[in-house]
Chains A and B, each alone.
Chain A
């Protein structure tokens, strides 16, 4: 199993550009989440999904969109990138509630 995969690993954007961070898992997990990690802030939840077709907002959802058309994929869209979105983004998945979340390797995004 590949586990949780994320692409790209690194990305540089200009302010106002849009892009999609890809996340996929091959463990048949129902629960998937997106977090951002900033220095001194820990990880903060952006959006999460409890199954295909069901998504909800986390702590810091503004400027991001998600959709979940399949169990495997959970892309994160930046609609109009801003320097405040410079961060490391992690996708995670889990089999159930209250259990281990498996994290992808992260995407380092820089917005100029």
Chain B
């Protein structure tokens, strides 16, 4: 069974600084999809970024980028120029692509200091 591990329960970053959130996963599949979702206090789940495992190039969405290391099964999220609105819980998630099941990590709470 696939597992997703987010070992840091909490992190803090100064506004305008850069922070990296860690995620590792375990799978025997060679092709799969990885996601980072953001959950602000409103509780709404929002997709931040998506990575296809067969693509070597790291995904980027504005201030958000990933460091995808397939051999190490690592998928970290880098947030540049952190803003107060980035404060939220962030979840790493995995999907095999063979079905619609998403496996989530336990999440990390990010706080942003003004």
**A41 proximity list for chain B (CB < 8 A):** 106
Q: Using a Cβ cutoff of 8 Å, how many contacts connect chains A and B? A: 62
User: Chain A, 39-57, contact with B by CB distance < 8 Å: what is the 0/1 string?
Assistant: 0111111001010000010
Q: Are the C-beta atoms of B100 and A94 separated by less than 8 Å? A: yes
Counting chain B residues whose Cβ lies within 8 A of the other chain, the interface size class is 20 to 34
- CB of B52 within 8 A of chain A? yes
22 contacts between A and B (CB under 8 A): A35-B102, A41-B106, A42-B4, A42-B105, A44-B104, A45-B102, A48-B99, A48-B101, A50-B100, A56-B99, A58-B101, A90-B45, A94-B100, A97-B98, A97-B100, A98-B32, A98-B33, A98-B52, A100-B47, A101-B100, A105-B44, A106-B43
Instruction: Give the interface of B toward A (CB within 8 A).
Output: 4, 6, 9, 32-33, 35, 43-45, 47, 50, 52, 91, 93, 95, 97-107
Instruction: Give the interface of A toward B (CB within 8 A).
Output: 31-33, 35, 40-45, 48, 50, 56, 58, 88, 90, 92, 94, 97-101, 103, 105-106
